[in-house]
Amino acid sequence: MDDMVIDQEMVQSQKKNTVMIVDDDALNIAALTQILENDYTLYVERDGFKAIELAKELLPDLILLDIVMPGIDGFEVLSRLKSIHETSEIPVVFITGLSNIQAEEQGLALGATDYIYKPFSTPIVKLRIRNQLQIVNQLRLINHLSITDTLTGLFNRRHFNTRLNYEWKRAIREKTLLSIVMVDVDNFKKYNDAYGHLQGDVVLKSIANIIKQQLLRATDMLARWGGEELAALLPVTDLPGAIIVAEKLRAAVEGHFFPYIDAPGSSQVTISLGVNCVAPWKYSNMKLFIDEADKALYQAKRLGKNRAEVAEGLSDKLPE
């Protein structure tokens, strides 16, 4: 597995899982806190309505939910959590003093993953929580691997397409602009022929890291498009802003020293870029959005490389 991917997984594994305790009883909260505080980051809420809002905000890895609470009981809290997109996948373990089969059946039918019964047994609580979070962490790792390019550690093309579809719909809904920058490494075949594919991989990973460091907004996304081509998606970004980003990426790669690329005529690694910006609520073809950015990229190649070009025909895609 690629070193960058391993590093990301190690960082994730070193983070404490987050657990939210929802209970109106101070003694129960104190007991669970004492049992779990050394192993997990804990959040506490005593009100069912507030717990739903807090779960949407914090997105904890696991929720411990009391059944009997004033105002809104645990069954209704669970039902509402499962109906909300952001919280629907969070595992919920009921903590309860009820011991009847009907209550347990009802909770499981609503989507609870387990039950912890009062009075609390410290070993049982720890084991049940640990088992649930092991599943959470395994699923998270599987999901991470499914959306990650193993060579560069960037998002893969499949996830890029998913994110593009999401941002396209959001731009239509909010009437915002959407930009893309397609990136291709210049003369990459020459690097591979001169130094071998392994060293070519090193160069590609280095370029991916350089570009990723230049994209500072959390909403910006960088993915490996294929081969030596990358794609940067820039939500809520107009054309002048996208051009500035493209030039920033180009200059960062041009100014980087690659110690292994030292043959005459090959000492400088550069990239070519194609920029496109559209108003998706006026322009409804995602495929053409990408294709025109690609055409701009290859225009940059034809005009001498190490430059950024803008897609033609933008006047009918941008708001007046």
Task: Judge contact between 252 and 246, C-beta under 8 A.
Answer: no
Task: Establish whether 167 is a catalytic residue.
Answer: no
Per-residue pLDDT at 279: 93
Task: Judge contact between 309 and 297, C-beta under 8 A.
Answer: yes
Give me the phi and psi of 267, to 5 degrees please.
-75, -15
Q: How large is the greatest C-alpha to C-alpha distance in the chain, in angstroms?
A: 80
DSSP 70: S
Task: Judge contact between 119 and 35, C-beta under 8 A.
Answer: no
CA dist., res. 320 & res. 304, Å (int) = 33
Please, how many CA atoms are within 13 Å of residue 260, restricted to the half-sphere of its CB? 14
Per-residue pLDDT at 189: 85
Per-residue pLDDT at 313: 64
Catalytic residue selected from 45, 228, 229, 309: 228
Q: Concatenate the DSSP letters of all residues of 183-194 into one string.
A: EEETTHHHHHHH
Residue in 22, 132, 112, 27 with CA at minimum distance from that of residue 72: 22
Give me the phi and psi of 309, to 5 degrees please.
-125, 155
Task: Judge contact between 27 and 2, C-beta under 8 A.
Answer: no
- Give the E-state strand segments of 138-228 in sequence order: 178-185, 221-226
Residue with tokens 């499962």: 82
- Structurally, at CATH architecture level, domain 3-146 sits in 3-Layer(aba) Sandwich (3.40)
CA dist., res. 214 & res. 199, Å (int) = 23
CA dist., res. 45 & res. 142, Å (int) = 31
Per-residue pLDDT at 144: 84
Topology of domain 157-316, CATH: Alpha-Beta Plaits (3.30.70)
Q: What is the pLDDT along the chain (320 residues), one digit of tens a residue?
A: 333 333 344 344 457 999 999 999 999 999 999 999 999 999 999 999 999 999 999 999 999 999 999 889 999 999 999 999 999 999 999 998 877 888 888 989 999 999 999 899 999 999 999 999 999 999 988 888 888 999 999 999 999 999 999 999 999 999 999 999 999 999 888 888 877 888 888 889 999 999 999 998 999 999 999 889 999 999 999 999 999 999 999 999 998 877 655 544 445 789 999 999 999 988 768 999 999 999 999 999 999 999 999 998 654 566 65
- The answer to whether the peptide bond before residue 259 is cis (omega within 30 degrees of 0) is no
Residue with tokens 């933008």: 314
Per-residue pLDDT at 79: 95
Domain boundaries, the chain: 3-146, 157-316
3-146 and 157-316: identical CATH topology: no
62: helix, strand or coil? strand
Per-residue pLDDT at 100: 80
